[in-house]
């Protein structure tokens, strides 16, 4: 695949510069924001199951300490390098600012193809990775809090929390050292699907703005919109599921092994079951196979959701993309050059550091839960239910009409943890979308949504650095 000639971190910075030019901040202050504060590259040995020893390369980057802890996922991929973790850490800083999560940005990674390691090997290297971070003070509830990313999930987070708390057993808030954990290890309901749910909320909200849809030549509303999703991991799988639930028509899916396309729509649950059974998307009944996976992105659709990796839509393939809207489920899937090409064609891009922020937002809720040691909704759920019942009783008395048991049960529900998490997620994503549109519109054609999201983040971080001053 032809990558654009500049690195991922340079691309993020190019987008930053474009937005910074629309602000009035001092160049010195902008330089402080843009720079990556710390990068730790380390190696350690792993004994493979067959007795061979391998040297593992790992990184953790903390981009900005204007708010602590820093926060960002851990990625297991052969593409991990210093530039990538710095770029992803920077995106985390801007992402947290856009959705008002009070953290700085960070990212970590181990350069491996996780599919070629056994579960025991992955456990050994995850625990060692955590141990190395502890040694250098690069992890902790108030320091730097990792989460899942490409190639990692709740299982790896459980190994990390276990290793961290074994090394610091007296730390009362130790479980807050990492988020995205299994529920039994201090995780929060709704975190696993939060990023995909957030991407779907954002897509739906964008489709509801009639003025923007008109400019794209589309009718308002998500119902009936044709969607292609790339990557069926944590983000892509949940995005596809929620978009279908809300009435979108899934016409294409793209994975490692190739892509499938059916203009009449794919039954996502059946495709998922087919892939579990055959280990491949290909040969799904009724759909056309596309052997070159990148060509899957170029098929007819209204909305494209790249949710696999960075650099998927470049200057080379951008002219062949037919979607009118691209929602960046992955971090950095559209290069800055490709963004320009697509903008010239009027394609609406909903940028990564807003679109996929649902994950870090719910991670923030998990962190709060861990610090308070109590499940959200535990104390008020029953109280709320009883209050609603009292209101319904009053209405019955006043109207002399009785509600049915079912009506009472439906109306008198207190919020549990999942309700509260999903409510906080939806409210934040929807509110932020309208703020970004407003910033874009204020800049009279000089800003797209990506630039607007950078302007929003830069303004918020700048105030923070100005208030803090420079130490010493």
Measured CA distances, 441 to 30, 129, 212 (Å): 23, 45, 11
256 in contact with ligand NAD (CB under 6 A):
yes
Taking the complex as a whole, how short is the minimal distance between the CB of residue 330 and ligand NAD, in angstroms?
3
Taking CB atoms, the residue at the shortest distance from ligand NAD is 233
89 in contact with ligand NAD (CB under 6 A):
no
> How many residues at the interface with ligand NAD, by CB under 6 A?
24
Residue 324 in tokens: 């009118």
Site string for ligand NAD, 286-325 (x = CB under 6 A): -------x-------------xxx----------------
282 in contact with ligand NAD (CB under 6 A):
no
Distance in angstroms (rounded) separating the CA atoms of residues 353 and 331: 7
Is the CA virtual torsion 346, 347, 348, 354 positive or negative?
Answer: negative
CB 424 within 8 A of CB 365: yes
**Full DSSP string of 300-352:** S-SEEEE-S-SS-B-TTTGGG---SEEE--SSS-B-HHHHHHHHHTT-EEE-H
Give the one residue of 69, 187, 359, 377 binding ligand NAD; rule: CB under 6 A.
359
Residue 68 in tokens: 């602590």
Site for ligand NAD in 364-403 (CB under 6 A): none
Is the CA virtual torsion 469, 39, 234, 208 positive or negative?
Answer: positive
Question: Looking at 107, 225, 369, 381, which residue is catalytic?
Answer: 107
Site string for ligand NAD, 128-167 (x = CB under 6 A): --------------------xxxx----------------
193 in contact with ligand NAD (CB under 6 A):
no
Distance in angstroms (rounded) separating the CA atoms of residues 52 and 227: 46
**Residue 272 or 465 having the CB closest to ligand NAD:** 272
Catalytic residue check, 135: no
Burial string for 337-358 (b: 16+ CB within 10 Å, else e) reads bbbebbbeeebbbbbbbbbbbb
- List residues bridging with 356 in a β-sheet: none
Using CB under 6 A, which of the segments 78-86, 124-132, 326-334, 400-408 binds ligand NAD? 326-334
Taking the complex as a whole, how short is the minimal distance between the CB of residue 16 and ligand NAD, in angstroms?
18
Give the one residue of 145, 240, 330, 425 binding ligand NAD; rule: CB under 6 A.
330
458 in contact with ligand NAD (CB under 6 A):
no
CB 348 within 8 A of CB 304: no
**Residue 366 or 381 having the CB closest to ligand NAD:** 366
232 in contact with ligand NAD (CB under 6 A):
yes
Distance in angstroms (rounded) separating the CA atoms of residues 401 and 413: 21
Give the binding site for ligand NAD (CB under 6 A): 148-151, 195, 230-236, 254-256, 293, 307-309, 329-331, 356, 359
> Which residue numbers are catalytic?
107
């Amino acid at each position: 695949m032809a990558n654009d000639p500049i690195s991922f971190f340079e691309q993020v910075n190019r987008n930053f510069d474009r937005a910074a030019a629309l602000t009035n901040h001092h160049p010195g202050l902008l330089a402080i924001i843009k720079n990556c504060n710390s990068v730790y590259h380390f190696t350690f040995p792993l004994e493979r199951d067959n007795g061979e020893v391998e040297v593992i390369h790992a990184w953790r980057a903390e981009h900005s300490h204007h708010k602590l802890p820093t926060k960002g996922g851990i990625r297991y991929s052969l593409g991990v390098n210093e530039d990538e973790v710095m770029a992803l850490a920077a995106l985390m800083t801007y992402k947290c600012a856009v959705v008002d999560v009070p953290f700085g940005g960070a990212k970590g990674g181990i350069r491996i193809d996780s599919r070629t390691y056994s579960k025991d090997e992955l456990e050994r290297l995850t625990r060692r990775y955590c141990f190395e971070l502890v040694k250098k003070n690069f992890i902790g509830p108030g320091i730097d809090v990792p989460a899942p990313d490409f190639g990692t999930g709740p299982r790896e987070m459980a190994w990390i929390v276990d290793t961290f708390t074994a090394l610091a057993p007296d730390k009362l808030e130790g479980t807050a050292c990492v988020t995205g954990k299994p529920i039994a290890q201090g995780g929060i309901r709704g975190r696993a699907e939060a990023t995909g749910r957030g991407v779907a909320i954002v897509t739906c909200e964008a489709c509801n703005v009639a003025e923007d849809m008109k400019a794209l030549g589309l009718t308002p509303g998500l119902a009936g919109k044709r969607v292609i999703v790339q990557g069926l991991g944590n983000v892509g799988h949940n995005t596809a599921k929620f978009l279908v639930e809300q009435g979108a028509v899934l016409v294409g899916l793209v994975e490692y092994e190739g892509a499938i396309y059916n203009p009449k729509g794919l039954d996502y649950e059946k495709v998922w079951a087919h892939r579990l059974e055959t280990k491949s998307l290909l040969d799904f009944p009724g759909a056309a196979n596309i052997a070159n996976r990148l060509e899957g992105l170029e098929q007819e659709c209204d909305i494209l959701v790249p949710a696999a990796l960075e650099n998927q839509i470049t200057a080379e393939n951008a002219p062949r993309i037919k979607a009118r809207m691209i929602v960046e489920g992955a971090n950095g899937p559209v290069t800055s050059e490709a963004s320009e090409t697509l903008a010239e064609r009027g394609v609406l891009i909903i940028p990564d550091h807003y679109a996929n922020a649902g994950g870090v937002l719910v991670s923030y809720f998990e962190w709060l839960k861990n610090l308070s040691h109590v499940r959200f909704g535990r104390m008020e759920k029953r109280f709320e239910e009883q209050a609603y019942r009292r209101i319904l009783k009053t209405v019955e008395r006043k109207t002399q009409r009785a509600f049915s048991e079912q009506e009472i049960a439906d109306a008198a529900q207190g919020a549990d943890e999942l309700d509260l998490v999903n409510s906080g997620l939806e409210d934040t994503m929807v509110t932020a979308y309208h703020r970004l549109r407003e910033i874009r519109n204020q800049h009279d054609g000089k800003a797209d949504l990506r630039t607007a999201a950078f302007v929003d983040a830069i303004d918020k971080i700048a105030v923070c650095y100005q208030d803090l001053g420079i130490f010493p």
